[in-house]
Structure 1
Amino acid sequence: MITRPLIRSAGPGALRRLSTCITGIGNPEPQYAFSRHNAGLLMLDLLKDQLSNSPKPYMPCNASKKVKRCQLGELMFLRVDGDYINLSGKTVVPLWNKLGSDVRHIVVHDELSLPLGKIQLRKPGTSVRGHNGLKDITKRFGDGFYRLAVGVGRPNERDSETVARYVLSKFPKEEMAIIATQSLPTALNHIETLLK
């Protein structure tokens, strides 16, 4: 598990000390909350809550009404769900550019090609595996960001309509529990390794 000393208290000039920005991407409408396609947002929220010494809410982002932010010392959490996931780059890249070139970026996203609950951290420059949100970010920013994939599994039928229904459907309670109890510790370990 991650150790608290890695997270330093935010203070004056905190943005200048920012080292890592963790961005969760998903769809905006209430009906998509807790859907498989929003697994990146779910994991982002779990990471933020785990890394906070006390509950710290997201705040509106001054530069974009479509993004919420929360800063914990050198870590910035961006919750990008004000636009469709396929347009993630349009929403987030202008904000990344404002943070400067020294900030390391991690995008947390759903991943069909991984079994439910499996977490995989992939380095910049690796394939986006057909994920349209990652494609849009790459188109507008380049591929210089880490991908923290949250496995959501895949339906047996591979036709596009079945897959679309599957990713837009909500996680059953037992699958949510897997994400919270089994996936989160692995994701935290990956973040810890990067922060070191």
Structure 2
Amino acid sequence: MAIKLLFVGLGNYTHPNTRHNVGMMVLDAMAKELNLVWSQHKPWKSMVAQTTLSLIAKDASITQVQLTLLKPRLLMNVSGTSVAKAVNELAIQPSSQLFVFHDDLQRPLGKISLKNTGSANGHNGIKSVIEKLGSNDFARVRIGIGRPESRDPDDVADFVLGKFTDQEIDGLDKTVYPLLVQEDPLTCLCLRRELWRPPKPPKEKKLRAPTPPPVPPVESC
């Protein structure tokens, strides 16, 4: 039996490559990796891409995953409407079948964390999803975007709505997307609800210097 999963990327669809849109950017990278094409789905007010994956579990069994990627075409603050419509039509349980990817000001750029339930921590997109679902019991994949030195609300708003620099985008390409969109990370997230960590390289064994032969005692005359 196949597993249904819904991956949602939060952002402002009309403002590409801004820090607030990193959730959508992750899903764009995922769709590219899986050779998927986005199409507009008006009932959900979203862009949607779908596929079925055959993922290999730790015990070598194969699990079919019906994966739906969704990018709301609504503004961030009301994006929960799109998510709730998709959840209802797909007949999924948010607590086990919904993952929401979004930006996180509390973490440095590129730092990824997984949170399975709890408050919105001030994120308006997550607030909207919680409100429309009537529950905060769903997984969030939080992608750090850093934050400005100023704590002034206007400065923070300008920061999150500002575009990533070329250097920051290059960093996402090299350090974030590989941890989320390739086969092993997808298998880990879909089947075990965990973030993938690349294996650590084996430690090089230090070669011990050979023990010198004992020095024979000097005979006295």
- Classify the TM-score, shorter chain: 0.7 to 0.9
Deviation at 1:159, TM superposition (A): 0.7
Provide the residue aligned with 1:5 in structure 2.
none
In the alignment, is residue 84 of structure 1 matched against residue 69 of structure 2?
no
Which residue of 1 is the match for residue 199 of structure 2? none
Match of 2:13 among 3, 14, 28: 28
Kept in 2: contact 1:117–1:178 (CA 8 A) = yes
1:166 aligned counterpart, secondary structure: helix
Equivalent residue in structure 1 for 2:22, among 31, 36, 39: 39
Determine the C-alpha separation between the residues in 2 that align with 1:68 and 1:18.
21
Please name the residue that 2:188 is paired with. Answer: 193
TM-score if structure 1 supplies the norm length?
0.82
Q: Does 1:130 align with 2:122?
A: yes
Greater relative CO (CA pairs within 8 A, separation 6+): 1
Code of the residue aligned with 2:49 in structure 1: it is C
Opposite residue 44 of structure 1, the aligned amino acid is L
- Note the C-alpha offset of 1:91: 2.3
Measured after TM superposition, the shift of residue 190 of structure 1 is 5.0
1:147 and 2:140 are equivalent in the alignment: yes
Checking the alignment, whether the CA contact within 8 Å between 2:11 and 2:76 is kept in structure 1 is yes
* Aligned amino acid, residue 96 of structure 1: V
Q: Give the distance between the partners of 1:127 and 1:157, measured in 2 at CA.
A: 24
Contact 1:18–1:76 at 8 Å: present in 2 too? Answer: no
Question: Helix, strand or coil for the counterpart of 2:99?
Answer: strand
Alignment partner of 1:180 out of 173, 176, 180: 173
Q: Which residue of 2 aligns with 1:10?
A: none
Q: Which residue of 1 aligns with 2:207?
A: none
> Per the alignment, in what secondary structure is the counterpart of residue 19 of structure 1?
strand
Q: Which has the higher helix share?
A: 1
Give the drift of 1:97: 1.0
Confirm whether residue 75 of structure 1 aligns to residue 76 of structure 2: no
Larger Rg: 2
34, 37, 53: which one pairs with 1:57?
A: 37
Contact 2:105–2:147 under 8 Å retained in 1: yes
For 1:77-100, what per-residue CA distance to the aligned partner results, in whole angstroms no more than 9, with x for missing partners? 0111x1110111122211211111
CA contact (8 A) 2:31 2:37 kept: no
Q: Which amino acid aligns with 2:29?
A: L
Equivalent position SS for 1:63: helix
The match for 1:101 among 72, 86, 92 is 92
Task: Report the CA distance between 1:101 and its aligned residue.
Answer: 3.0
Q: 1:184, CA displacement in angstroms?
A: 1.2
Distance 1:144 1:191 in 2: 21
Report if the CA contact (8 A) 2:113-2:143 is conserved: yes
- What's the TM-score, normalizing by structure 2? 0.73
